[in-house]
Homo-oligomer: A and B are copies of this chain.
Amino acid sequence: MTAPACTRTVRFGVNYTPRVGWFHHWLDFSADDVARDLDTIAELGVDHLRVFPLWPLLQPNRTLIRPRGLADVERVLELAADRGLDVCVDGLQGHLSSFDFVPAWLTSWHRRGMFTDTEAVASTATYLTALAKACAGHPNLLGLTVGNEVSQFTGTAHPEAYPASETDVTDWLQTMIGALRAGAPGTPVLHACYDTTWYDDTQPFTLGHVATLGDATVVHSWVFNGTAQTFGPDAFETRAHARYLIEVARAFQTDPDRPVWLQEVGAPRNVLPASSVLPFIEATLDQLVDTPELFGITWWCSHDVSRSLADFPELEYDLGLIDEHGTIKKEGLVVAAAMNELRRRRAAGATDAERSTLLLDPTELTRRDLAPGGAFWEHYMTIARDGRHPRVTLAATVEA
């Protein structure tokens, strides 16, 4: 997985949210259901999907990793391969669409440090190695992620956070990334944070982790984080948000050629009225045209959550490119068309233009300054709004 080879092509995928039963489908795994879902997903013109086994189902006891659970993940890889689709597999779910799935051996009477307890960390690593090993033999394995936004489980935002320092997180991520590599040598290995890592000074998962650990800088962009609420659904800032996260994270990279993967981006209807959705999609992707190191874009998500399932935040029911009955939505057609346009323009050389440099001095700024409406944010947006997105560069890097 190297940036140069991917620079112009840009991989296009979806986060696979099974149509029947959402991620509870693992409890009633049906190859027929998955095959039908993937047939529709393939019609979108994607080249890959990201899949999410539920951690408590795969490792229900600390020392029990279910062979049949691993076999079900492998079956998804096979069904995807039959349709020419690559697959990125996430390990620790963990957190999905507001629901937390944590094994009983880490909760309640058995609560212990998810990121710090020696036995818990070792057993989590054992699971990731087993998962990686199961996937490793499949030629369409695109990558392995430690888990979906595992950063959700620490910091001050979570109601039942597992405490961890920045050093704890460094150690933990290195262990988990090593565990995936041990199971699948040579496969790209990632980890993924949500935007508290960019914006919240209490979050021990840092931009240093995002930009230097694993084989790519992974970005999840969600404008319901206050951006769309503050600036409006049709504001430049809202449509520039994904690009902004990429540029800020990239500044913390030590390897300038490191690929960047926009692994989650979606059009949340709680902050985007119907009339804003399609322009949001088009403008968000348009602003990514001249991001040279962009490896891929994986839209959230494939299928709407069924209205028969309760308690999801309202926005989760409408995030799909395919509706709950299996029909491709207008959003799906627009994302696919915008991806084609993005690829066409990149192939035509849109990534090669000169850009201004914007210095970011971490010794003088807090993450609050980077957040929507913060001093650095405003400075960046002023430049970007007037023309091209600036190239953010750490002050320390320039001085060195």
Is residue A110 within 8 Å, beta carbon to beta carbon, of the partner chain? yes
Are B24 and A60 closer than 8 Å at their CB atoms?
yes
User: Copy number in this complex?
Assistant: 2
Is residue A231 within 8 Å, beta carbon to beta carbon, of the partner chain? no
CB distance from A17 to the nearest CB of B (A): 13
Question: Using Cβ atoms and an 8 Å threshold, which residues of chain B touch A123?
Answer: 310
Is residue A171 within 8 Å, beta carbon to beta carbon, of the partner chain? no
Question: Using Cβ atoms and an 8 Å threshold, which residues of chain B touch A160?
Answer: 107-108, 160
Partner of A159, one of B66, B99, B105, B109: B109
Is residue A230 within 8 Å, beta carbon to beta carbon, of the partner chain? no
Most buried by B among A109, A119, A159, A309: A109
Partner of A110, one of B22, B99, B104: B99
In the bound complex, what is the Cα–Cα distance between A27 and B54 (angstroms)?
12
Partner of A61, one of B61, B68, B309: B309
In the bound complex, what is the Cα–Cα distance between A102 and B108 (angstroms)?
10
CB distance from A290 to the nearest CB of B (A): 37
Is residue A28 within 8 Å, beta carbon to beta carbon, of the partner chain? yes
The digit string for A56-83, where 1 denotes a CB below 8 A from any CB of B, is 1100111110101100000000000000
Is residue A386 within 8 Å, beta carbon to beta carbon, of the partner chain? no
In the bound complex, what is the Cα–Cα distance between A14 and B346 (angstroms)?
69
Specify the chain B residue showing the minimal Cβ separation from A153.
B108
Is residue A308 within 8 Å, beta carbon to beta carbon, of the partner chain? yes
Are A310 and B62 closer than 8 Å at their CB atoms?
yes
Question: Using Cβ atoms and an 8 Å threshold, which residues of chain B touch A22?
Answer: 61
Partner of A311, one of B27, B61, B100: B61
Question: Using Cβ atoms and an 8 Å threshold, which residues of chain B touch A105?
Answer: 99, 310-311
Question: Using Cβ atoms and an 8 Å threshold, which residues of chain B touch A100?
Answer: 104, 107-110
CB distance from A206 to the nearest CB of B (A): 23
Question: Using Cβ atoms and an 8 Å threshold, which residues of chain B touch A308?
Answer: 63-64
Are B311 and A62 closer than 8 Å at their CB atoms?
yes
CB distance from A300 to the nearest CB of B (A): 18
Known: A98-B110, A99-B110. 17 other contacts (CB 8 A): A22-B61, A24-B60, A24-B64, A27-B57, A27-B60, A28-B66, A62-B311, A64-B309, A99-B104, A99-B105, A100-B104, A101-B104, A105-B310, A108-B158, A108-B160, A111-B159, A119-B310
Q: Which residues does A use to contact B, with CB under 8 Å? A: 21-22, 24, 27-28, 56-57, 60-64, 66, 68-69, 98-102, 104-105, 107-111, 119, 123, 158-160, 308-311
- Known A61-B24, A69-B27; judge A159-B101 contact (CB<8 A): no
CB distance from A181 to the nearest CB of B (A): 25
Are A310 and B63 closer than 8 Å at their CB atoms?
yes
CB distance from A93 to the nearest CB of B (A): 11
Question: Using Cβ atoms and an 8 Å threshold, which residues of chain B touch A311?
Answer: 61-62, 105, 110
29 A-B pairs with CB atoms under 8 Å apart are A21-B64, A24-B61, A24-B64, A24-B66, A27-B27, A27-B66, A27-B68, A28-B68, A56-B56, A61-B310, A62-B310, A62-B311, A63-B308, A63-B309, A64-B309, A98-B109, A99-B104, A99-B110, A100-B110, A105-B310, A105-B311, A107-B107, A107-B160, A108-B158, A108-B159, A108-B160, A109-B159, A111-B159, A119-B310
Question: Using Cβ atoms and an 8 Å threshold, which residues of chain B touch A69?
Answer: 27
CB distance from A20 to the nearest CB of B (A): 10
Specify the chain B residue showing the minimal Cβ separation from A305.
B61
CB distance from A393 to the nearest CB of B (A): 37
Question: Using Cβ atoms and an 8 Å threshold, which residues of chain B touch A21?
Answer: 64
In the bound complex, what is the Cα–Cα distance between A107 and B101 (angstroms)?
9
Question: Using Cβ atoms and an 8 Å threshold, which residues of chain B touch A56?
Answer: 56
Specify the chain B residue showing the minimal Cβ separation from A160.
B108
